[in-house]
Structures are given as structure tokens and as C-alpha cells.
Amino acid sequence: MIVYKYLHPDRIDVLNNNLVRFTQPAALNDPFELMPNLSEIRRFFANLTNSFTSKNASHADYGLQSTDEIIKDTFGRWNADNASSLLFLSLSKERNNLLMWSHYCDSHRGFTLGFDSFHPFFSESKPGIKSVLREVIYSRTRPVIPAPDGDAESFFQANTNILTKSHHWAYERELRLCASTAAADETKTGINSEPIYLFRFPVEALQEVILGHRMSNESKEEIIQVVGRSYPDAKIYATALSELEYDLEINPIP
């Protein structure tokens, strides 16, 4: 199966350097990334706090933490922030989604890269470094972190929380590769001083390059040249608006 990365026209450097960004949760466009339902955790700590204060009423002035403070201290490090050690590469099963071409490719001025999902880069995990490519689950409810009578932290780290998104995003048909910041091949500093983590993808994994129908001729020519020079297995396509439907036709470029 070929999976697709939608890119802004300014990101031709991805092809020039064969480096692609893996993004911190806080830098993604969904504010609910790594933000599960903590209702069971809140209930557990509320019961624990109430039980302690009722048995130790004379010690109530010792500054016992509130339920919210306990939750913040215990799970705050998992919140999606730029210091997170977890990174995502988001890909899609779709190559002709009109909305994604508009949202991620500068209104069809950009391009998409099609990768072979069976290549070891995507299909083989390295424990503690990189996961395999997995499908995102779309749900109307946020995943619930269980009360910590079990191993709640492992659940938070390894279970559905990192792969579950709102059903509103289902049109993206996303697949997600997770990696550690320590595994990045290069790290740069972004506009707001946030780190940008870049990973080198195998040249042979790139199978398709699809150019947006509004892409400038200059950018088209640059991409055609770099693909011909550096990616012998990749085929180049261009999109065109269908005359019959609200759809994109994808035609090969000789």
C-alpha cells in the first residue's frame, strides 16, 4: 500500500535533503492530541482525598493537594507540549482528498509524496525509538484513562490515546508513525525557537510524487529535476480538476 504525505510548496527541501519532519503533539493542528478523558482518574483521587481528609481532619491544614493538583502533577508530563519526547509522522491513505490538498498543500499549490508502507522504515519497529505505521482510530468520545489500580501510565503511553482522534478528522484517513526525539537525524530551531526534528527516509521508499494543479511551473520543474536525479523508483504525477465531478484526476508526467 502507498501512503501519502501532503506538503506545502515551500517544502521542496524534503526532497532535496530526503529529510521529513516528525512533529511534537503541541505543534499539530488538533488541540486534543494526547489529551484523554481523565474522569476515572479524577474520581479515584477525589475518593482518595476525601477518605484521607475524613480520617485525618486534624491534619487538614497540612496543605493536602487538591484532586486537580494531584492529577496535574501525575499526568502533566504527558500533556502535549514542545518538550515532549514523542513525535508523530502523519500520513494518509488518500492521495486525492480535496480538503487535504487545500489545508496542507497551500490550496493545491503544493505536492504529495507517496511512500511504500511495506518498506522496513514504516513496517519494522525499534523499541524505544520508532513504532510501526499504524492507523488512527476515529471516535466520538475521548479515550478514558483508567483509575490507577492498574498500570495507568503504561496505558497512557502505549494504548489508544496516541492513536485516537475525533471523528471530525476521519476524512484524513490518517496513519501515524511514532518516534522518539532522540532518534532524529537532524534537529533545527523553528521560528518560535521550538525544536524541529527531522528524520531521513530511505530513497527507495518513495514511490510517487504528485504535483498540485496550482503549483508554479518553476516549482514543478525543480521537483521533476530532483526526483529524476535522486529518486529513480519514484513516478511523477500531476493533478487536474475533473470535468464531471468534484474530484481530482491524477495523471502521469512522462
What pLDDT was estimated at residue 82?
41
Residue 130 per-residue DSSP state: B
Integer Cα distance of 15 and 150 in angstroms: 45
Residue from 34, 151, 180, 23 nearest 91 by CA: 23
What pLDDT was estimated at residue 81?
46
What pLDDT was estimated at residue 54?
57
- Report angle CA 103, 108, 113 to the nearest 5 degrees: 85
- Mean pLDDT for the stretch of residues 171-191: 92
Please identify which residue in the block is written with the cell numbers 512522462.
Answer: 254
> Which is it for strands 164-166 and 137-139: parallel, antiparallel or unpaired?
parallel
What pLDDT was estimated at residue 135?
93
Buried b (16+ CB within 10 A) or exposed e, 170-191: eebbbbbbbbbeeebeeeeeee
Read off the amino acid at residue 226.
Answer: V
pLDDT band at 77 (very low <50, low <70, confident <90, very high): low
What pLDDT was estimated at residue 160?
58
pLDDT at 249 over 90: yes
pLDDT in tens, 1-42: 999 999 999 999 999 999 999 998 888 888 888 777 777 777
What pLDDT was estimated at residue 60?
47
Q: Give the least confident one: 41-50, 75-84, 90-99.
A: 75-84
Helix H or strand E encompassing 4: strand 2-7
- In degrees rounded to 5, what are phi and psi of residue 179? -150, 165
What pLDDT was estimated at residue 106?
97
- Mean pLDDT for the stretch of residues 166-190: 93
List all residues 6 or more positions away from 226 whose beta carbon is below 8 Å from its beta carbon: 12, 15, 16
pLDDT in tens, 105-163: 999 999 999 999 999 999 999 888 899 999 998 989 887 777 665 555 554 444 557 88
pLDDT in tens, 37-57: 777 777 776 666 666 555 555
Higher confidence at residue 76 or residue 112? Answer: 112
pLDDT in tens, 192-215: 888 999 999 999 999 999 999 999
- Reading the block at residue 213, the C-alpha cell is 494543479
Residue boundaries of the structural domains of the chain: 2-35+79-252
What pLDDT was estimated at residue 80?
43
Do residues 220 and 236 make contact, with C-beta atoms less than 8 angstroms apart? no
What pLDDT was estimated at residue 148?
61
Helix H or strand E encompassing 230: helix 217-230
What pLDDT was estimated at residue 98?
96
The CA radius of gyration of the chain, in Å to the nearest whole number, is 22
